[in-house]
Copies of this chain bind each other. A is one copy, B any other.
Amino acid sequence: MLEQIDLTKKMSKKEFKARMEQLEPELSRLQRTCREQKLPVIIVFEGFGAAGKGYQIGKLIHALDPRGFTVYSVGSETKEERMHPFLWRFWTKTPARGHIAIFDRSWYRKVLIDRFEKVTPDPGLSEAYKQINTFERQLTDDNTVIIKLFLCIDKKEQKKRFDKLLSSKSSAWRVSHGDLKRNEKFDEYKNMNDQMLEHTDTDYAPWTLIESMDREYATIKIYTAVISAIRRALAGHSETMPSAKTTQNRQTVSFQDNILRTSSLKKADLSLDISRDEYRKKLEHLQKKIAALHGEYYRRRIPVVIGFEGWDAGGKGGAIKRLTEKMDPRGYQVFPTASPNDIEKVHHYLWRFWEHLPKDGHIAIFDRTWYGRVMVERIEGFCTTAEWQRAYQEINDMEHQLYQHGALVLKFWMQIDKEEQERRFRERMDNPDKQWKITDEDWRNREKWDEYEKAVDEMLVRTSTTYAPWIIVEGNSKYYARIKVLQTVADAMENHLKKK
């Protein structure tokens, strides 16, 4: 999940102030409603050292009635705690109905710091993830709302903050030896965090990533996440909610807000381009390289799954054509994904993709994929909210099974901007050979650009995993885009081979 995060997010003091004027009273109101409705709430703060957990907890409780919440700061296990099952100290701290428990670090310590310090041995990891998920599921099944916030900063920023803290006697104690070690080995520790997020981002207790380079931005995002989650839970919890008042406010506190999105999609530099000459040269080189790798994959019986998604006219077809041009046709297959046919419709939505998974040594390329569930099906209402929310995990599970089986799994998002799309649509309409490629539906989808952007953002964050990453392809230049796709495939095939 962390690969897709855009850490450049900022917010001006003025906007911050204006938003907080809405958010604080809203959260206060919601706390009162939670108490009336007897809804228990758990808020978990996790994230990198010096990302501002303490500061943000201070900001959050500012809006809360102190009689209704408790903050727990979670350190190493005490001697007493070690003499119990690991979740004992958290079970005993679960909030009463109507109360809020805020955790500054939590049970995730077990699979993060304690893993890094080798207190938790690697063979115990999968059991720990299982116990954590079971814990959260049992509580949410019992109507507890669990809101999990992960505060992110980058290595450089962390170092800067540590240095600042260390420079003064009054704050130096806040930086531990462990903190510095985790900064030194930032990438290793980040990878542990990424694995943790992958194992525990569930439909019943999802993570929200909080970009925390800028304090004000982070505060707003935290408030928004907490408010949305509680509101959703109250709506499900009781018919009496939401009141007219909170509905009015919906506009201000919603992830509809462009600025509160998480992925780096918006940051894609669509001006990237290469010359025709460079394109030709690289294309030939990469096609040969991939063909050679393909042979090696066949020989060693390693399957490959490559998915293509992107805006209509984003260049999926062109990229797939170049990718496969020099491949041995007996070793790969391209599956275009249209609306499900009658047989597919009476099966699970993943069934038709399972049918087409490649056998060992083969490459399966999907032109549009199972991600339709969380894009078109979500937006057009072809499935219920519960269904598409559940789908992130279902899809991750499927891709993880492929990975476990030995497969290389890659997913490309072909990104273009709205203007470029219009240009391409018009070009298609004007060209008799390409008219078949453009339908009324394409124009209709285009009208829902914003809705799609929101869905894509969530999809990229929730399903970009260490074992099956998303690659955003800057697609305004077809040359650039195709080379990026081929280069990525070649590199990934090479790296995957080395790990074998």
The reply on A220 being an interface residue by CB < 8 A is no
Give the Cβ gap from A49 to chain B, nearest Cβ, in Å.
29
User: Separation in Å of the A218 CB from the closest CB of chain B?
Assistant: 31
Which of A137-145, A238-246, A258-266, A492-500 forms part of the interface with chain B? A137-145
A357 close to chain B: CB less than 8 A: yes
Residues of B within 8 A of A80 (CB): 359
Q: Decide if A87 touches B394 in the complex (CB within 8 Å).
A: no
Give, as a whole number of angstroms, the nearest-CB distance from A274 to chain B: 38
Contacting pair B401 A138 (CB below 8 A): no
B139 touches A348 (CB 8 A): yes
Q: Which of A348-387 contact B (CB under 8 A)?
A: 348-351, 354-355, 357, 359-361
Chain B residue at minimal CB-CB distance from A354: B91
List A residues 50-96 near B (Cβ within 8 Å). Answer: 80, 82-88, 91-92, 94, 96
B residues in contact with A88, CB < 8 Å: 354, 357
Stretch at the interface among A126-134, A208-216, A456-464: A126-134
Contact (Cβ within 8 A) A351 B91: yes
Q: Does A346 contact B (CB under 8 A)?
A: yes
Contact of A347 among B94, B141, B346, B354 (CB under 8 A): B94
Say how far A80's CB is from chain B's closest CB, in angstroms.
6
Report the nearest B residue to A360, measured CB to CB.
B83
A126, closest chain B residue (CB): B126
> How many angstroms between the C-alpha atoms of A496 and B317 in the bound complex?
63
- In the bound complex, CA of A347 to CA of B144 (Å): 10
Identify A359's interface contact among B83, B301, B348, B394, CB under 8 A: B83
Q: Report the minimal beta-carbon distance from A11 to chain B, rounded to whole angstroms.
A: 38
Give the CA-CA distance A141 to B390 in the complex, in Å.
Answer: 9
In the complex, chain B residues whose CB is within 8 Å of the CB of A139: 348
Contact of A357 with B138 in the complex, beta carbons under 8 Å: no
Set B96, B361, B397: member contacting A138, Cβ < 8 A: B397
For the complex, what is the distance from the CA of A82 to the CA of B301, rounded to whole Å?
11
**Residue from A87, A141, A401 having most chain B Cβ neighbours under 10 A:** A401
- The verdict on A338 contacting chain B, using a C-beta distance below 8 Å, is no
* A18 in contact (CB, < 8 A): no
The one of B84, B142, B390 that contacts A348, using a Cβ cutoff of 8 Å: B142
Task: Tell whether A85 pairs with B404 under 8 Å between CB atoms, given A346-B97, A346-B98.
Answer: yes
The smallest beta-carbon distance between A382 and chain B, in angstroms, is 14
Q: Any chain B CB within 8 A of the CB of A174?
A: no
Q: How far is the CB of A245 from chain B (nearest CB, A)?
A: 27
Chain A 392-410 near chain B by CB (<8 Å), digits 1 or 0 = 0010010001101101000
Distance A91 CA – B131 CA, assembled complex (angstroms): 27
Contact of A84 among B94, B349, B357, B397 (CB under 8 A): B357
CB of A209 to closest CB in B, whole Å: 24
Which residues in A have some Cβ–Cβ distance to B below 8 Å?
38, 80, 82-88, 91-92, 94, 96-98, 126-127, 130-131, 134, 138-139, 141-142, 144, 301, 303, 343, 346-351, 354-355, 357, 359-361, 390, 394, 397, 401-402, 404-405, 407
Q: A96-B346, A142-B349 are in contact. List 14 more A-B contacts (CB 8 A).
A: A38-B346, A83-B301, A85-B357, A85-B402, A86-B401, A91-B354, A92-B355, A94-B347, A126-B126, A131-B404, A134-B397, A138-B348, A138-B397, A141-B390
5 contacts between A and B (CB under 8 A): A83-B301, A85-B357, A97-B347, A131-B401, A134-B397
* Nearest 5 CB-CB pairings of A with B: A91-B354, A83-B360, A83-B359, A85-B405, A96-B346
